[in-house]
Amino acid sequence: MHITDKDNVECFLYADDAMISRVRKNLPQEDVLYNLAELFKIFGDSTRIKILCVLLEGEMCVGDIALLLGISQSAISHQLNSLKKSKLITYRRDGKAMLYSLADDHVKDIINEGIDHVLE
């Protein structure tokens, strides 16, 4: 249920109309919020987080990631596909090998900020 009229809200002491107006104006569009929620779902899997942390160190192939994490190559490949679809990682071909890396510094920042937050 969407409440748009403060007269219908019974659990407030007072309404700060200026703040409500400012927040409403600055709140991202619904599709942006949906996409953000979808992005955060990707971070909800510890295997994907491990892969992202591995890739903080640089590009790596599926076999090396699997060996490092002790997980099958097929399981790693499945998670890499999810990370690619979410634009968190990128890849390049080097001969027969596919080398994966973080998509950009934003991803690195998200992971590092998350680690810092957890360690506080």
Q: Give the pLDDT confidence of 71-88 residue by residue, as tens digits.
A: 999 999 999 999 999 999
CATH 3.30.565.10 at 13-119, yes or no = no
pLDDT band at 94 (very low <50, low <70, confident <90, very high): very high
DSSP track, 13-78 = S---HHHHHHHHHHSPPHHHHHHHHHHHHHTT-HHHHHHHHHHTT--EEHHHHHHHHT--HHHHHH
Is the pTM higher than 0.85? The answer reads no
Closest to 57 (Cα-Cα) out of 111, 10, 4, 7: 111
